Amino acid sequence: MLLVLLLLIGMIGFRILTGESWIDCFYMTVITISTVGFTEAVPIDENAKIFTILLILTGFIVVGYAIKVITEYIILRNDAEEIKLKKMQKKIDGMQGHIVICGYGRNGAQVARKLAAYDKDFVVIERNKELVEKMEDSNIPYVLGNANEDETLEQAGIDRASCLISALPSDADNVFVVLSARQKNKNIRIISRASHESTYSKLKLAGANNVILPDKIGGDHMASLVVIPDLIEFIDNLAIVGKTNINIEQVDVEKLYDTTEVKSIRDLDLRKKTGCNVIGYKDPKGDYIVNPEADQELAPNSTIIVLGRPEQIQKLNTLFNI
């Protein structure tokens, strides 16, 4: 399209400036942009010479780009997989503050579904081509490779990511990934899976912010369903599964008011304005207070946890433009 446009501009330009036939104008355009440079087919004045100079310079750029595109197409026309990977990498390179998921097994796939339901940007690193094919069907951004390799983490944009979730089946692999990720990005939040309790301390030492033991959590959950079944079922109903049915939300106090003058929970009066209840408070040091008093002051860089029905949570978000 650029080549055709350039030819048309050249023909019309020479026609206006010289008044010669369309054939002569076309001939002049072709020998100019191709840099063949025979003698002029028609006499030209100073204006036509300036136009020719601009056409030559533009032709260098457009023809060079066209040659690149055409050559690339010829080389890659039989390699559809490489083209797909190139497009995928371009999409990943445009991400900022995303989440990197290492492994698309049972845990990794569940993480991806939850994040997709909450419209979070994420990239999956997986080396199993069968699992990669499933991600292609679901339009999930992915990097085909081993998460243990620094190059693979870099392809996933680890330096621009806000969080990494290592859900590999091997504890040794998870430790290695956590170490590598922490070296690449000092500020990234790292959450890792662990199969054995003995690995917990190693992952924390390697740089993981949170370590999850799926077997321990599953066992505790089943035991709790025996001891306090109604309470556990109620807590399960509070799970975040998407924007349209959120029951519980965390909100930074800076989103609620100007923290230059500290206010309390009573001053905000969220219950009256939105119907939501404040059930937790996290102070700037990271300490939690469950069911804080109404007189609890909301210091800068702190967070509150609110509970409400989906429509009440939505009203809160709308009211404070969250």
- Domain closes at, from 76, 111, 142: 76
Residue 90 falls inside a structural domain: no
- Give long-range contacts, CB 8 A cutoff, 24+ apart: 206-210: 206/175, 206/178, 206/179, 206/182, 207/178, 207/179, 207/181, 207/182, 208/166, 208/178
- Domain closes at, from 18, 49, 76: 76
Q: Name the nearest CA neighbour of 299 among 307, 289, 291, 309.
A: 289
Does residue 275 sit in helix, strand or coil? Answer: coil
**Using an 8 Å Cβ cutoff, are 243 and 119 in contact?**
yes
**Using an 8 Å Cβ cutoff, are 122 and 139 in contact?**
no
Structure confidence by residue, pLDDT tens digits, 123-141: 999 998 888 888 877 888 9
Structure confidence by residue, pLDDT tens digits, 220-238: 889 988 988 888 777 777 7
pLDDT of residue 243: 52
Structure confidence by residue, pLDDT tens digits, 101-123: 999 988 999 999 989 888 899 99
Residue 264 falls inside a structural domain: yes
Residue with tokens 């959950």: 221
CATH of the domain at 72: 1.10.287.70
**Using an 8 Å Cβ cutoff, are 90 and 212 in contact?**
no
**Using an 8 Å Cβ cutoff, are 164 and 172 in contact?**
no
Q: Which structural domain, as residue segments, surrounds residue 37?
A: 2-76
pLDDT of residue 210: 93
Beta bridge partners of 125: 102, 143
DSSP state at residue 306: E
CATH of the domain at 253: 3.30.70.1450
Asked if 113 and 168 sit in the same domain, the reply is yes
pTM of the model as a whole: 0.64
Residue 224 falls inside a structural domain: no
pLDDT of residue 248: 84
Determine phi and psi for 12, rounding to 5 degrees.
-65, -40
Say how far residue 139 (Cα) sits from the centre of its chain.
Answer: 13
CATH of the domain at 202: 3.40.50.720
Q: What is the C-alpha separation between 298 and 129, in angstroms, rounded? A: 49
Residue 81 falls inside a structural domain: no
Six token digits for residue 241: 């599964």
Beta bridge partners of 163: 99, 189
Q: How many CA atoms lie within 13 A of 147 on its CB side?
A: 30
Residue 262 falls inside a structural domain: yes
pLDDT of residue 42: 61
Q: What is the C-alpha separation between 110 and 114, in angstroms, rounded? A: 6
pLDDT of residue 77: 65
Asked if 105 and 201 sit in the same domain, the reply is yes
Residue 223 falls inside a structural domain: no
Residue 312 falls inside a structural domain: yes
Determine phi and psi for 199, rounding to 5 degrees.
-85, -15
Give the residue ranges of the chain where pLDDT is below 50.
Answer: none
- Torsion of the alpha carbons at 212, 213, 214 and 217, rounded to the nearest 10: -100
Q: What is the C-alpha separation between 53 and 45, in angstroms, rounded? A: 12
Asked if 250 and 212 sit in the same domain, the reply is no
DSSP string, 194-262: -SSGGGHHHHHHHT-SEEE-HHHHHHHHHHHHHHSHHHHHHHHTT----GGG--EEEEEGGGTS-TTS-
pLDDT of residue 265: 92
Six token digits for residue 255: 């989103």
Count structural domains, the chain: 3
Residue 237 falls inside a structural domain: no
Six token digits for residue 262: 């500290």
pLDDT of residue 276: 92
pLDDT of residue 241: 53
Asked if 190 and 271 sit in the same domain, the reply is no
pLDDT of residue 70: 83
Contacts of 265 (CB under 8 A, 6+ apart): 278, 281, 292, 293, 294, 295, 296, 298, 304
